[in-house]
């Protein structure tokens, strides 16, 4: 018998737990959803007018369900006790020390959450891995639950239900996911649990998009999908480098390739390589897995995706310096964009951090503007490289500058015809009038109108173009 889920607890109120369970609460008003976290600051922000993360469309959803069937709390124990199903949505960063340092996922938060569930549960529950975890993590969770649950009659089913949302489009991705993946053990009880979670999603997702698989396939699929996406970006970065030497243009090459239905048009935009909290971490995770099984060529293959990504960022910084007569010392440079992509305030592994550091090391006066990133966040990211300046507009950043560098693909940096947004486009003529000569523009995202800027008088370099 497939009992409907009535109460959900989500452990981890981050970029995944928050949006995922807010949308779930919105779509399933009969389910009571409580999102918990150890961070009081984060929970307070979720309960305030200023949410801790920026995602288009999220605020409306949170505000419409908060206090009704959506709750944010630090009372983790109470939420676990009440829940029929617990999403484990905690962070799984790369280990920084000990065995596997620099590669393996740090599973201490997953373990802590699992122990808490085992200790407190007074009724049987479904436990769902929502975090991205190494393949066979559910086995460790099972062992922890079996060894630490004090009540013999309480039964736990573990499911893998990885999240595929991308930041900046999280709400859209959650409302209309390409697929929902639910992995379970091939047992009667595992299948029943899988069915119960599938029924929750079926409230708003077509059944044909809900895929059920084995537990280990589901865990690995998440790492595989991210690795394949990241690999595509490294591939396009490598081709962009060839374009810069040959006179071919990467956007034209991408369009020509993307029209092949076997390749498809997505994820072929050349830029500064990939940033964000997951691609690098998950590929490290995959490399570690391969090395654990002595699959050295497999590990080397995926490592090269990361090598290419690092090279892409470093190469862009070197290009800036070379064009500016091999010295940026004491030159003012405006860095436009600090988030790792548009429509998010997230700066984790943002390529802009590397570019800013490279320029600061060379003695440049770096002025950074981003529509959604606070000065405090920039300072945390740049750490010891604290001698940058925070700007509150494009114009202020570019005033008397020698160069403007575009590091994030924000719509407000794009020409109005391509942004499709109502915000006024940058007035490049006026920017040019207030810059030093020669005035350089380095377009790290391939979003500006190169010809129009050259007509104004700028010296322009665009990724993937030989200008």
- Does position 378 bind ligand NAD by CB under 6 A? no
Exactly one of 275, 337, 345, 371 binds ligand UGA (CB under 6 A); that residue is 275
Report which secondary-structure segment, H or E, holds 403: strand 403-406
Exposure on the CB side of residue 12, measured as CA atoms within 13 A = 22
Residue 269 binding partner per list ligand UGA, ligand NAD, none, with a CB distance cut-off of 5 to 8 Å that depends on partner kind = ligand UGA
Is 112 an interacting residue with respect to ligand NAD (CB under 6 A)?
yes
Q: Does 167 bind ligand NAD (CB under 6 A)?
A: yes
Strands 32-36, 125-129: pairing is unpaired
Q: In Å, how far are 52, 73, 276, 339, 380 from 389, measured between CA atoms?
A: 24, 37, 23, 16, 14
Distance from CA of residue 214 to its chain's centroid? 26
Q: Which backbone phi and psi does 243 adopt, to 5 degrees?
A: -60, -45
Helix crossing, 351-361 with 375-382: angle to 10°? 70
Pick one of 274, 388, 440, 442: the residue that binds ligand UGA (CB under 6 A): 274
- Report if residue 39 touches ligand NAD, rule: CB under 6 A: yes
Shortest approach of ligand UGA to residue 268 CB, angstroms? 6
Is 278 one of the catalytic residues? yes
With respect to ligand NAD, which residue has the nearer C-beta, 162 or 446? Answer: 162
Complex with ligand UGA: residue 84 or 370, whichever CB lies closer: 370
Is 164 flagged in the annotation as binding? yes
- Is 356 a known ligand-binding residue? no
Segment interacting with ligand NAD (CB under 6 A) among 36-44, 64-72, 294-302, 440-448: 36-44
Residue window 117-156: x/- pattern of binding to ligand UGA, with contact defined by CB under 6 A: ---------------x------------------------
Side-chain-facing half-sphere of 71: CA atoms under 13 Å: 20
Taking residues 251 to 290 in sequence order and writing x for each that binds ligand NAD by CB under 6 A, - otherwise, the string is --------------------------xx------------
Radius of gyration over every alpha carbon of the chain, rounded to an integer in angstroms:
24
Distance between CA 444 and CA 82 in Å, rounded? Answer: 49
335 binds, among ligand NAD, ligand UGA, none (CB under 5 to 8 A by kind): none
- Which residues between 233 and 272 bind ligand UGA (CB under 6 A)? 233, 267-269, 271
Give which of ligand NAD, ligand UGA, none residue 91 binds (C-beta under 5 to 8 Å, depending on kind): ligand NAD
Q: How many residues bind ligand UGA (CB under 6 A)?
A: 19
Decide if residue 464 touches ligand UGA (CB under 6 A): no
Nearest to 337 by CA among 222, 261, 190, 443: 443
Residue whose C-alpha is closest to residue 285's, from 343, 223, 230: 223
**Nearer CB in complex with ligand NAD: 132/391:** 132
How far, rounded to the nearest angstrom, does the alpha carbon of residue 263 sit from its chain's CA centroid? 23
How far is CA 295 from each of CA 229, 280, 289, 292, rounded to the nearest angstrom?
21, 19, 9, 8
* Residue 113 touches which member of ligand NAD, ligand UGA, none, C-beta under 5-8 Å by kind: ligand NAD
387: Cβ–Cβ under 8 A, 6 or more apart, which residues? Answer: 360
Report the residue from 72, 109, 284, 440 that binds ligand NAD according to the rule CB under 6 A. Answer: 109
For ligand NAD, which stretch binds (CB under 6 A), given 87-95, 120-128, 189-197, 254-262?
87-95
Q: How far is the C-alpha of 149 from the C-alpha of 183, rounded, in Å?
A: 23
Q: Is 349 in the site for ligand NAD (CB under 6 A)?
A: no
Ramachandran angles phi, psi of 403, nearest 5°: -150, 150
Cβ partners under 8 Å of residue 55, min gap 6: 19, 167, 168, 170, 171, 343, 344
The active-site residue out of 21, 135, 243, 278 is 278
Whether 432 has a binding-site annotation, put simply, is: no
243 vs 9: CA distance, rounded Å = 50
User: Three-class SS of residue 213?
Assistant: strand
Q: Residue with CB nearest ligand NAD?
A: 14
Nearer of residues 16 and 144 to ligand UGA, judged by Cβ: 16
Query: Is 376 marked as a binding-site residue?
Result: no
Q: Report the alpha-carbon distance of residue 452 to residue 438 in Å, rounded.
A: 16
Mark the segment that binds ligand UGA (CB under 6 A) among 162-170, 201-209, 283-291, 446-454.
162-170
Q: Select from 39-47, 161-169, 256-264, 451-459 the region that touches ligand UGA (CB under 6 A).
A: 161-169
Integer CA distances (angstroms), 67 to 21, 74, 161, 171, in order: 14, 15, 26, 20
What does the block give as tokens for 287? 């490399």
Q: Is 33 annotated as a binding residue?
A: no
CB hemisphere CA count around 149 (13 angstroms) = 21
Binding stretches for ligand UGA (CB under 6 A): 132, 163-167, 226, 229, 233, 267-269, 271, 274-276, 278, 340-341
Binding stretches for ligand NAD (CB under 6 A): 11-17, 36-39, 42, 76, 89-92, 109, 112-113, 131-132, 163, 165, 167, 277-278
> Residue ranges for the binding site?
12-17, 37, 42, 90-94, 131-132, 163-167, 222-226, 262, 269-275, 278-281, 340-341, 348, 445
* Residues noted as catalytic: 278
């Amino acid at each position: 018998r497939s009992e409907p889920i009535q109460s959900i607890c989500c452990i981890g109120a981050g970029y995944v737990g928050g949006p995922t369970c807010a949308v779930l609460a919105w779509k399933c008003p009969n389910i009571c959803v409580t999102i918990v976290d150890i961070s009081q600051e984060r929970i307070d922000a979720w309960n305030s007018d200023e949410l801790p993360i920026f995602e288009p469309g999220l605020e409306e959803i949170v505000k419409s369900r908060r206090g009704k069937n959506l709750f944010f709390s630090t009372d983790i124990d109470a939420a676990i006790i009440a829940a029929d199903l617990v999403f484990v949505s905690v962070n799984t960063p790369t280990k920084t020390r000990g065995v596997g340092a620099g590669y393996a996922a740090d599973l201490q938060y997953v373990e802590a959450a699992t122990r808490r569930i085992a200790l407190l549960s007074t009724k049987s529950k479904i436990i769902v891995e929502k975090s991205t975890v190494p393949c066979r993590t559910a086995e460790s969770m099972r062992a922890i639950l079996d060894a630490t649950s004090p009540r013999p009659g309480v039964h736990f089913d573990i499911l893998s239900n990885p999240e595929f949302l991308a930041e900046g489009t999280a709400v859209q991705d959650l409302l209309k996911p390409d697929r929902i993946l639910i992995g379970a053990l091939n047992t009667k009880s595992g299948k029943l649990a899988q069915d119960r979670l599938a029924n929750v999603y079926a409230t708003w997702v077509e059944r044909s998009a809900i895929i059920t698989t084995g537990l280990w396939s589901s865990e690995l699929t998440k790492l595989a999908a991210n690795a394949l996406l990241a690999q595509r970006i490294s591939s396009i970065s490598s081709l962009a480098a060839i374009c810069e030497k040959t006179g071919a243009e990467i956007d034209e090459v991408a369009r020509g390739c993307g029209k092949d239905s076997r390749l498809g048009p997505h994820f072929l935009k050349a830029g500064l390589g990939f940033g964000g909290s997951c691609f690098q971490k998950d590929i490290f995770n995959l490399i570690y897995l391969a090395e654990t099984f002595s699959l050295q060529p497999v590990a080397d293959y995926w490592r090269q995706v990361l090598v290419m990504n690092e090279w892409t960022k470093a190469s862009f910084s070197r290009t800036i310096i070379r064009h500016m007569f091999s010295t940026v010392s004491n030159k003012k440079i405006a860095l436009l964009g600090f988030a790792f992509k548009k429509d998010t305030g997230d700066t984790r592994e943002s390529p802009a951090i590397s570019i800013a550091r490279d320029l600061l090391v060379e003695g440049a006066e770096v002025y950074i503007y981003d529509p959604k990133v606070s000065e405090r966040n920039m300072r945390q990211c740049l750490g010891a490289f604290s001698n940058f300046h925070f700007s509150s507009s494009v114009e202020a950043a570019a005033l008397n500058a020698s160069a403007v560098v575009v590091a994030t693909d924000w719509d407000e940096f794009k020409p109005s015809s391509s942004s499709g947004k109502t915000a006024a486009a940058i007035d490049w003529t006026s920017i040019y009038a207030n810059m030093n000569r020669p005035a350089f523009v380095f377009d790290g995202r391939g979003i500006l109108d190169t010809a129009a800027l050259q007509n104004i008088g700028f010296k322009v370099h665009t990724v993937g173009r030989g200008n």
